[in-house]
Structure formats: structure tokens, C-alpha cells
Structure 1
Amino acid sequence: MYPAGFKGRAQRLTDIDVARVGRVIRLGEDEVRAVMEVETLGGGFDKQGRPKNLFEPHRFWIELGAGPKRTAAAEQGLAYPKWGARPYPAESYTRLALAMRIDTSAALRSCSWGLGQILGSNHKAAGYPTVGDMVAAFCDSEQAQLAAMIAFIEAEGLDDDLRRHDWSGFARGYNGPGYATHGYHTRLRDAYAKWQAIPDVLEPSYPKIGRGSRNAAVTVAQSRLLALGFDPRGVDGIFGSDTDAATRAFQKSVGLKDDGIIGPLTWAALIKEMDT
């Protein structure tokens, strides 16, 4: 269950987290950062260390269904049938607390949470069995928030839209048919262009390497392979046949194409396995 006051460890995201999590499903850092920036300006916690939260009364109306709970919520201005009927206040947790007095689960499911502003009712697509589990994880770290955002994007089949830079297609699937009203697709495009001008974390420190490569990146890869039990027969910065064999064995073990090339996906897997 989520902590009291929605205040957990509130661990912040690191740059390497963005690169590692996104590349697991073949998304670049710039695409991931564009979504994060448009949704929450790139930060998942508010000034009090709580997950950024947007309580949506029209969702609460749907979650409650017809009956005395909906009537009570409507009387308090916490539920109404159509989005945009009234302006949202700057702070959502006050309304969330009132809504939770009526129905805790429905209230949590009616909020958008964290870095990716994942709607609580989408907790399963984000990788969590209950909305409470999702909120608890989001109170703990921005890394959990980012992983959930990526899981949701993949579950909804929107990762291809991001890879193609089909901003309208992605916006329609992620934010609904009214995305154009708020220029969501153009803001995504502009955020992506901004991040394109900023060097990625995994480049050039983690370039594509393979047999014949000789550089510091090979030394890093050899060290990681050795630590994970795939012996390259030396950590010398030379990508020879032994390093090739170790790379292929590692790739096969994590379900990647065993081509002996350490590119974005293999780097991401090497980093992930070292963190677990």
C-alpha cells in the first residue's frame, strides 16, 4: 500500500535510467525525454516529494457509476460527466483526499500519476495488478514511474508511433482524440527537437562496437561481460574472437539476437543486468 501522505523514498531519476529503460523497447533517449517533458516537465514529484498527480472529476464520475456515491461526489464538485466542465485547481491532492472518503480505489483510479501521468485505471497496462501497487511504487522512485510509462506505451502499441516520430498518432493513443486541442502533438515534436540537440548519455561513451573495435568502450563492455559470468578472456580494449563469443553468449542469454554487435539494445541489457 502507498505510504501515508503519499510520501515515500521519492528517489530521483538518473540520466542513465532514461537511456537504459527506453532502449529496452528500442526507444531513444530523445523520444522518452520528449514525452516526459510534455507530461510533467521531466519531473515526477511535486515540491513535497509526492508523485505529481492530476485528479480528474470526469473520470471519477465514470469510476463511481450511478448511485449514492456519485451523487455525493457531484454535490461536492468532485465528479461531473464531461471533461472541461470546470477548471482544475493548481493542486490535486486536496480533492483526492475528499474523493478517497467516498471511494478510495475509484479516487486513485481517477488520477493521472507520475512522470508519464499514467491514469490510475491503466495500472495493469503499466505493469501493476492494482492501482494501490502502482501508486506505492510511484511514491518510491521516478525510475518506477518511467518504467511504468514505457510499459504502458508498449502495451498500447504506441512505441512504433514514437520510433516513426508520428506525433499525432502517439498523441491520439496516449492522450485521447482531443489531443490536438491542446497542441499535444506539436509540443511533443518541439520537445523532441530540443533533446535532439543535446548529446545522449549513452553516446559517445557507449558506441556501437564489434569484432575489430579497439577503444575504451570495449574495455567497459569486457568488464561488464566478465562480471556477469561471460568471460571475454581478457579486459584489454580489443574486441577479438573471445569477446565476440562472450558477447554472443550474453545476447542469447537475455533473448537478443546473438550477432556479436554491442549496440543500443545490448548496451541497455548489459547495464540492466549489472543493476539487478
Structure 2
Amino acid sequence: MYPAGFKGRAKRLTVIDIARVGRLIGTGEDEIRAVIEVETSGGGFDNKGRPKMLFEPHVFWRELGPGQKRTTAEATGLAYQRWGSAPYPKDSYPRLALAMKIDAAAALRSASWGLGQVLGFNHKAAGYASAGDMVEAFCDSETAHLEAMISFIISEDLDDELRRHDWSAFARGYNGAGYATHGYHTKLAAAFKRWQAIPDALAPACPKIGLGSRNDAVRHAQARLTALGFDTKGTDGIFGANTRAATIAFQKSAGLAPDGIIGPISWAALLKEN
């Protein structure tokens, strides 16, 4: 169950996480960063260390269904039939707390959570058995936010749209039919353009390297391979036969193509936190 006050470890993303997760759907860092920027301005936790969250009364109305609970929620302004019926407060957590007194599970399903603002009722598409399980994971780390966002994107068949930068189609699937009203597609396109002008986290510190390469990146890879138990017979910055053998052994252990070349996918796996 989620921690008291929705305050867990609140562990932040690393730049490697974004690159690693982006590889899961064949995108670069810029596409992933664009979605995060538009959804939550780049951060998954608020200034109190809680997952960023927006409680949606129109979703709560639907989740409750007909009956006394809905009547009670409507009477207190916690539920209404149509989106936009009333302005949202700056902090949704007090409203969530009141909604949970009526129906805790429905309240959690009726809020958008974390970096990707994944709605609780989409927990299965995000890879969780319940909204409560998803929220618990989200209290712990932004990596969970990001992985859930990617799982949702894959589940909704939106990864193709993201890869080809069809921002209107992506926004329609991710944000709903009213995406254009809020300009989600134009915001995504603008954010992507900004991130394209910024070097990726895996470059230039982590360029593609292989047999014959000589640079600090090789030394970095050798040190990391050795730390993980794949002996390169030294960290001299020269990608020789021993480093290639260690790379191939690592790639096999990580389920990657054992080509002996450390490119973006191998770097992401190599630098992943244990």
C-alpha cells in the first residue's frame, strides 16, 4: 500500500533512465523528454515529495456509478458529469483525501499520476494490478513513473506515432479527443524541437565504441564492465580483444545482441543502476 501522506523515497530519474527507457520503444531521449515536459514540466514529484497528481471529478463521477456514493460526491463538489464544470485547485491532494473517504479505490482511479500523468484507471495498461499498486510504486521513484508511461504508450499503440513524430495523433491517443483545445500537439512539437537542440545524455561521453577505439569512453566502459564482473584485463582506454570479449559476455548476460560494440542500447544497459 502507498505510504502515509503519499511520501515515499521520491527517487528522481537519472539521465540514463530516460535513454534506457526510450530504447524500449525505439525512440531517442528527445521524444521521451518532450512528453514529460508537457505533462509535468519535467518532474514527477511536487515540493512536498509526493507524486504530482491531478484529481479528476468527472472521472470520479464515472468511476462511482449511480448510487449514494455518487450523490454524496456530487453534493460536495467532488464529482460532476462533464469535464470543465469547475476550476481545479492548485493542490489536488486535499480533494483526493475527501474523495477517498467516499471510495478510496475509485478516488485513486480518478486521478492522474506522476511524470506521465497516467490516470489511475489505466493501471493495467501501465503494468499494475490496481491503481493502489501503481501509486505505491510512484511514491518510490520517477523510474516507475516513466516505465508506466511507456507501458501505457505501448498498450495504446501510440509508440508508432511517437517514433514518427505525429504529435496530433499521439496527443489524441494520450490526452483524449479534446487535445487540440489545450494545444497538446503543438506543445509536444515545440518541446521536442527544444530537446533536439540539446545533446543527448549518452553523447558525447558515451559514443559508439568497438575494437580499435581509444578514448576516455573506452576507459569508462572498461571500468563499468570490470565492476559488473566482466574482466577487461585493465582500464587503459584501449578497446582490444579482452575488452571485446568482456563486452560480448556482458551483452549476452543482458539479453542484447552480442556484437562486441557498445552503442546506445549497450551503454544504457551498462550504466543502469543495479
Q: What per-residue deviation string (whole Å, max 9, x for no partner) do you get for residues 42-93 of structure 1? A: 1112222221111111111111112111121112221122222222222211
1:228 aligns with 2:237: no
Q: How many residues align?
A: 274
1:183 aligns with 2:183: yes
Amino acid at match of 1:79: A
In structure 1, runs of 5+ residues without a counterpart are none
Show the counterpart of 1:211: 211
1:8 aligns with 2:3: no
Show the counterpart of 2:23: 23
Shift of 1:11: 2.6
Identity of aligned residues (%): 72
For residues 77 and 208 of structure 1, what CA distance do their matches in structure 2 show?
A: 56
Q: Which shifted more, 212-221 or 233-242?
A: 233-242
For residues 62 and 206 of structure 1, what CA distance do their matches in structure 2 show?
A: 48
| Residues 26-175 of structure 1: pairs in structure 2 closer than 5 A | 26-175=26-175
Q: What per-residue deviation string (whole Å, max 9, x for no partner) do you get for residues 129-153 of structure 1? A: 2211211222222232222222322
Q: What per-residue deviation string (whole Å, max 9, x for no partner) do you get for residues 247-270 of structure 1? A: 223222222222222111111111
SS in 2 for 1:103: helix
Contact map agreement 1:218 1:237 (CA 8 A) in 2: yes
For residues 157 and 234 of structure 1, what CA distance do their matches in structure 2 show?
A: 45
Q: Which shifted more, 212-221 or 160-169?
A: 160-169
Q: Which shifted more, 236-245 or 19-28?
A: 19-28
Shift of 1:18: 2.5
Contact map agreement 1:24 1:269 (CA 8 A) in 2: no
Q: Which shifted more, 66-75 or 151-160?
A: 151-160
CA RMSD of aligned residues (A): 1.7
For residues 158 and 271 of structure 1, what CA distance do their matches in structure 2 show?
A: 27
For residues 259 and 93 of structure 1, what CA distance do their matches in structure 2 show?
A: 50
Q: Normalising to structure 2: TM-score of the pair?
A: 0.93
SS in 1 for 2:112: strand
Q: Which shifted more, 170-179 or 142-151?
A: 142-151
